[in-house]
């Protein structure tokens, strides 16, 4: 087994909220999810505050995944039920061994982060 370490790079000067939760998913281009290390049984990160910098580690089996396989990473942090980052996947190519990959994240525009209230009509 090989270990891939993702460093999820937050925007300059940004810190994850203490009360937030995080999710990370990793899959190949065929849509098959990759197993996670740490006994979590899936590739969802713990839904609890994470340390800075935000790192996520998972295992790959070279017997079932060839070197050169492209992997897709999706990472999200939530404060309450509000997503804080743009909903995008980023790709990297597995080099066949233990690997460290930097994944830059972008904040969602303020208009998407704010709670929108439905208009009320007077009587």
At 43 the pLDDT is: 44
In the structure, how many helices (H) and strands (E) does the chain have? 1, 7
Q: Where are the domains of the chain?
A: 2-111
Q: What is the pTM of this model?
A: 0.75
Per-residue pLDDT tens digits for 64-84: 999 999 999 988 888 888 889
- Cβ atoms of 60 and 4 within 8 Å: the answer is yes
pLDDT in tens, 8-37: 998 888 888 877 778 888 999 999 988 543
CATH number of 2-111: 2.60.40.1120
Residue 92 confidence class, pLDDT cut points 50, 70, 90: very high
């Amino acid at each position: 087994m090989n270990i891939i370490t993702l460093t999820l790079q937050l925007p300059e000067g940004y810190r994850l909220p203490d009360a937030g939760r995080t999710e990370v998913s990793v899959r190949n281009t065929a849509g098959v999810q990759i197993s996670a290390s740490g006994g979590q049984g899936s590739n969802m990160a713990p839904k609890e505050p994470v340390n800075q910098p935000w790192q996520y580690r998972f295992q790959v089996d070279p017997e079932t995944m060839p070197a050169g396989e492209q992997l897709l990473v999706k990472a999200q942090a939530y404060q309450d039920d509000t997503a804080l980052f743009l909903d995008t996947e980023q790709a990297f190519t597995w080099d066949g061994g233990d690997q460290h990959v930097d994944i830059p994240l972008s904040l969602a525009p303020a208009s998407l982060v704010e709670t929108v209230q439905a208009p009320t009509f007077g009587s």
